[in-house]
Amino acid sequence: MRTEIRFAGFGGQGIIRSGLILSMAACIYSDKNAVQTQSYGPESRGGSCKSEVVIADEEIDFPKIDDPDIVVIMSQEAYHKYVNTVKKDAIILVDPDKVTHRDDPSDTKIYDIPATKIAEEMGKTIIANVVMIGAVTVITNIVTPEAMKKAVLRNVPKGTEKLNMAAFEKGYNYGEQLLKNQSKSQ
């Protein structure tokens, strides 16, 4: 099993941190192999960035991603750049408040996760990435919720653990509700 995941957005959204959290959840807390790579523009905030994670049961001999299985998109620019670079039946999670102009591919599973809006309602937009990580956890089952929570706690600033765990739970619950509604409509 090899699963390729791409987080994409702009600097300041926690995109790189999201990839680090997922890779830690996989390799330290889930007994899987994982590798994380990242790239970003010259701007410290506001420029485009991406974080890519490969998770596998066996050794990972090539760390680059060609056609990801899962893509998390948190900006309009990232949507235009990456929405059509996925495998057939890929899972795409989109923040609809940050991505307003869309032409979703028909052969993928798209989930709208209003991570920024949820984070704003919690009083801190900076935790939108952790809201999204919660949704990624329940929708993809790539790692257990326990593994992801441990990785989140290891990667957030001291004093923000309670807020970040609440953000994770909000995202997880939102994703869980989406899946329930989806199964009811089928």
List pLDDT tens digits, range 123-132. 999 999 999 9
Contact, 71 vs 86, CB < 8 A?
A: yes
List pLDDT tens digits, range 14-65. 899 999 999 999 999 999 999 999 987 665 566 789 999 999 999 999 888 9
Contact, 75 vs 10, CB < 8 A?
A: yes
Backbone angles phi, psi at 53, to 5 degrees: -130, 135
- With cut-offs at 50, 70 and 90, classify the pLDDT of residue 172: very high
User: Which residue in this structure is represented by tokens 């869309």?
Assistant: 102
Contact, 100 vs 137, CB < 8 A?
A: no
- Alpha-carbon span 122 to 42, nearest angstrom: 30
Return the domain boundaries, the chain: 2-185
Which tokens belong to 92?
Answer: 């795409």
- Alpha-carbon span 172 to 148, nearest angstrom: 11
Percent of the chain with pLDDT over 70: 96
- With cut-offs at 50, 70 and 90, classify the pLDDT of residue 144: very high
Question: H or E segment at 139?
Answer: helix 128-140
CATH 3.30.450.90 fits 2-185, yes or no: no
